[in-house]
Structure 1
Amino acid sequence: MRMVIDAEGVFDGTGPKLALGVLRYRSDDVVAVVDSAHAGRNAREITGDPRVPAVPVVDDLDAALRYGPDTFVVGISPMQSTLPAGLRERIRAALEAKLDVVCGLHHQLGDDPELAAVADLAGRRIWDLRRPPEQDVQVGTGGLTHRPGSHTVLAVGSDCNAGKMTTMVELDREAGRRGLSSGFVATGQTGILVAGDGVPADHVVADFLPTLMHQHVCAATAEHDLVFVEGQAALNHPWYSGVSLGLLHGTAPDALVLCHIAGARDLGHLPLALPPLSEVVAMNEAAATWGGGPAARVVAISLNTGHLSASAAADAIAAVTDETGLPAVDVFRSGPAALLDAVLAAR
């Protein structure tokens, strides 16, 4: 793919998760970013992230077409079920320009009569990242264990947007660098685009999510000794805890890695206090055993300290280690090596 990422109006340094994830983990495939507010600069400069390529940020799709894309990626992630104002027109223009379209929104473009017709006329593909896999699922099939000798690790969080996908991708890549047999199972739109497939957990019928996740994890453990599963949301988040619990039960993990934003005291979307990290650890470990699952323990904390200075980040890491008794690592500041060491030691 040669991707242009649509981040109109939101590419401000932190940016939408999908856009940043693709820029970091499929950097060779991105040729431009669209955001008229930052046109004339480049993505690395705007984000301040050395892992992001220095691809141009341009005014609009016409400007992006000069870089020869073949795929238009909807990089924004609004919290709504309908298409935001202006996005429909940009998607239509991309299809008419003979680009495939990749979208991770709740709105399924392939089921949108207008856009599906435009795609058919242009002979282009729409890839809805949140479309569940087409496979037979029956509630209650399968067991709670994986291939003997394999080890499944699930990311859990104290909140949304705490780095669960990033942590699992970094662990998988570090394991690969060490020559270990490793795989990554994606459960969200960004992870699915990075990996090429996966289970969009928040679009699977709730009754089927645990069984579908079990099938995918078993398929991964049949091929790999280490399987790293992207988590979603948090058990302590009243809006999204159902998805978190479905993943926890369906993956039947052998170990957990807790992801947390350093210094966070409240949920990002709600004025509700976060429990102490020791309580978050305990609730995830307890829930993992409900229904006969393995006694999975939190083996380490993946701490997001990107908003802190180096000295403040070091203090935060030390404080979390003191509070929980677990190793804490920021995979961006120091790399994932120490985090993988903790996973392997627990194994």
Structure 2
Amino acid sequence: MMKQKALVYSENEFGKIDGKVANGLVRYSERYEIVGIIDSTKAGLDAGECLDGIKNGIPIFHSIDDAVEKLNYIPKYFIYGIAPLAPFLDKEQRQIIITAMEKGMNIINGLPEFFTEDDEFMQKASEYGVKIYDFRKSPPRKDLHIFSGSIFKIKTP
């Protein structure tokens, strides 16, 4: 499977505990090719060098606009790479998500606040022709199943 290009948002948190999503993705990702980190406090630096002291060629950008200008293309995905203590995004953080959608990036969300249940985000996603993925969201109840005992049918040596 070809890795998809992704830009990761970690403003003021890259390399810290609340930036753990971004930190982990910079170190390893099977699904995404991380093409940059957004953290204005570390803009211009190499993400690997900041995190582990070893350059990995992943640049840190000041903003979404800075990233798109320097990359010279728009990544397919925008990953919200912060795991904050606050339960909901503030107005500024919401605007970051909307800006990524305006640019044409699909949104990857790992927060317990589901973007797919947010009317404004869903309207913007539709308007800009992008998708939103909430990775913490459980499948619909109709798709869940209860214990069936089928595990006992597995033949093992």
Interval of TM-score (by shorter of Structure 1 and Structure 2): 0.7 to 0.9
Say if 2:63 is the partner of 1:56: no
Choose from 25, 33, 44 the match for 2:28.
25
> 1:78: which partner in 2?
84
Cα gap change, 1:94 to 1:79, in 2 (>3 Å): same
Q: Give 1:78 deviation, angstroms.
A: 1.1
2:137 to 131, 140, 148: 131
In structure 2, C-alpha distance between the alignment counterparts of 1:88 and 1:107, rounded to whole Å: 12
Q: For the structure 1 residues 83 and 130, does the alpha-carbon distance in structure 2 shift closer, same or farther, using more than 3 Å as the test?
A: same
1:136/1:96 CA distance change after superposition, 3 Å: same
Q: Secondary structure at the match of 1:117?
A: helix
Q: Which residue of 1 aligns with 2:123?
A: 117
Q: Whose relative contact order is higher, 1 or 2, with alpha carbons under 8 Å and at least 6 apart? A: 2
Matches of 2:39 and 2:91 in 1, distance apart?
A: 15
Correspondences of 1:230-245 after superposition (within 5 Å): none
Which residues of 2 match residues 209-248 of structure 1 at below 5 A?
none
Q: Is the 8 A contact 1:13 1:46 kept in 2?
A: no
Change (3 A) 1:42 1:13: farther
Q: Is 1:99 matched with 2:105?
A: yes
Distance, in Å, in 1 between the alignment partners of 2:48 and 2:123 is: 36
Q: Does the CA-based 8 Å contact 2:26-2:48 persist in structure 1? A: no
Match of 1:23, as an amino acid? V
The 3 A distance-change label for structure 1 pair 61 and 5 is same
Partner of 1:148: 155
**Structure 2: where are the runs of 5+ without partners?**
none
Structure 1 contact 14–47 (Cα < 8 Å) conserved: no
| Aligned with residue 43 of structure 2, among 39, 42, 46 | 39
- CA distance in structure 1 between the aligned counterparts of 2:16 and 2:57, rounded to whole angstroms: 13
Using the TM superposition, give the Cα deviation of residue 105 of structure 1 relative to its aligned residue in structure 2, in angstroms: 0.5
- Secondary structure at the aligned position of 1:86 is classed as helix
1:136 Cα deviation from its structure 2 partner: 2.9
Measured in 2, the distance between the counterparts of 1:86 and 1:49 equals 31
Please give the alpha-carbon distance, in whole angstroms, between the structure 1 residues aligned to 2:12 and 2:132: 23
Distance in 1, matches of 2:148 and 2:6, equals: 38
Task: Give distance in 1, aligned partners of 2:57 and 2:18.
Answer: 15
- What 5-or-longer segments of structure 1 have no aligned partner? 151-347
**Contact 1:80 1:106 (8 Å CA) reproduced:** no
> How many Å separate the matches in 1 of 2:86 and 2:148?
34
What CA distance in whole angstroms lies between the structure 1 residues aligned with 2:68 and 2:129? 18
Distance of 2:102 and 2:123 partners within structure 1: 11
Give RMSD over aligned pairs.
2.3
Report how many aligned residue pairs link the two structures: 148
Displacement of 1:6 in angstroms is: 0.1
